Amino acid sequence: MRKIIAVKQSSWWLGLIVLVELLAQTYLPAYGSKDLAAVLYLAAGLAVGLLPLFSKQLAAVSPASLPKSLAWLLFTLLAAATTYFGWQAIRAQALDHTFADMLPIIKIMGERWLAGEEVYAIIPEIWDGMQPIYLPVMWLAYVPALVLDFDMRIMNLIFMLGVALLVLQPWRVQTLASYLLRFLLLLVLFSYIFYAYTTFITISEEPVVVAAYACLAFSLRRKKAALFIIALASCLLSRYALIFWAAAYLLYELVVGERREALIKGFGTLLLVLVLLVISQGIFELELFYSLKDAYLDSFQNPDLLWRTQNTVSKNIGIARFLPFERLLSLHQLMFWGSLVLPFLLFGWYHFGLRQKGIPLWLFGLCSLKLCLVFFFNFNALPYSYLFYTSTTLSLVLFSEWILNEKGPSYRKEKAAPRQ
């Protein structure tokens, strides 16, 4: 009984920290202090990534007390409310490149691809000549809407409902308390992006990235290489913030873990990335994609852009808001080099410390991905608000995987997977 109570307490603590992170990205900066929100968001993100690694055991699953029919009913109600408010927001905001050019550019790229035209050619009708820069998955994800001739932003609703499905997992055996806790956390997030901050759905392509990273997090504990390959390739070809984490994870699994599994995942991902690059014409734009990492350097180096950069930084959370304009370039460089080194340091910590304590690789992979994203987005020198949703949503999936762990308190007795 004492162990069960301790496990439940750790789960509630993690849920509370995820709630703080959610509020620090949504309602607190919108209606309260952005400085406080920035500090809390960073602290809560780090805590979400670290707490599962220092808890004495994973959250044990108690005997089921939630009928699956009720779990599906609650998800259906959430989906219905999300669809209603999302559709109202979409109807109220027309696609207009003079207000936000992201989705109009993506629409033209998709239409060109369907017509067999050059996808990455200059778009003369937007800003008198706009170079499309979006990675293949970012625009290919909207092609079904173009083929079936419905508003492409409905795809954003579908992506976010998919995320909700991964968080709630209504097909799983679970307790009413654990389900309602995750349901309420989703309500906090969805009430903001579908009612208070609807531009995330109506003008942004970010739901594609959020869904891809959520799928990757969901795949880490499952012995399904195909799911991992599709998810990782989608992440790499939408926003490659995790590229160094992916390299460290696969290298570690290759050297220490299940070698055959690592080779399948690694080569499978490379093959799928190559196929998507070829069919999307992105294979001819590799230099353009590589340059994206420095796409905003002019914002930090050109004094004439001081007002625009400071306006962006001041309106959003992140470390950048606490630094003067002259330090933003250094922050950008720190973010890049830190993102390169941090994953390998984390896996070194796992190998020489946490692995001996019985922490499974899937859990450390999930927590280390969270920590890498916390660093990447919080140290971003030009922190647009929509970027943070990827890390925030990952916390929801991490919490779900933690609280629905099937192995219970025995996980520290598991031995490391043998090399094959």
418 inside domain:
no
- Average pLDDT of the residues in 176-199: 92
| pLDDT at position 411 | 43
- Average pLDDT of the residues in 232-258: 92
Q: Is 158 exposed, middle or buried (0-12, 13-18, 19+ CB in 10 A)?
A: middle
Most confident of 92-96, 183-187, 329-333: 183-187
Query: Does the pLDDT at position 4 exceed 70?
Result: no
420 inside domain:
no
- Average pLDDT of the residues in 371-398: 94
Report how far residue 327's alpha carbon sits from residue 247's, in angstroms, rounded to the nearest whole number.
30
243-255 vs 328-352: helix axis angle to the nearest 10?
Answer: 20
| pLDDT at position 415 | 43
- Average pLDDT of the residues in 133-148: 95
Query: Does the pLDDT at position 189 exceed 80?
Result: yes
Report how far residue 314's alpha carbon sits from residue 321's, in angstroms, rounded to the nearest whole number.
6
162 inside domain:
yes
| pLDDT at position 408 | 41
**Which residue in 26, 13, 19, 28 sits closest to 388, CA to CA?**
26
What's the structural domain count of the chain?
1
**Which residue in 70, 14, 143, 34 sits closest to 383, CA to CA?**
34
**Which residue in 376, 77, 106 sits closest to 241, CA to CA?**
376
Question: For the chain, what's the residue count?
Answer: 420
**Which residue in 201, 197, 163, 159 sits closest to 182, CA to CA?**
163
| pLDDT at position 147 | 96
Tokens 């930090």, located at residue: 300
Angle at 156 between CA 169 and CA 32, to 5 degrees: 85
- Average pLDDT of the residues in 134-140: 95
DSSP E strands in 154-278: the ranges are: none
- Domain membership of residue 296 as a residue range: 2-413
419 inside domain:
no
Confidence tier at 279 by pLDDT (50, 70, 90) = very high
**Which residue in 234, 211, 258, 233 sits closest to 362, CA to CA?**
258
| pLDDT at position 5 | 34
| pLDDT at position 1 | 37
| pLDDT at position 59 | 52
367 inside domain:
yes
Query: Does the pLDDT at position 115 exceed 90?
Result: yes
Cβ neighbours, 10 Å, residue 148: 8
What pLDDT, in 10s, does the model give residues 353-366? Answer: 888 888 899 999 99
- Average pLDDT of the residues in 305-311: 78
122 inside domain:
yes
Q: Which two tokens stand for residue 10?
A: 């750790």
- Average pLDDT of the residues in 215-223: 92
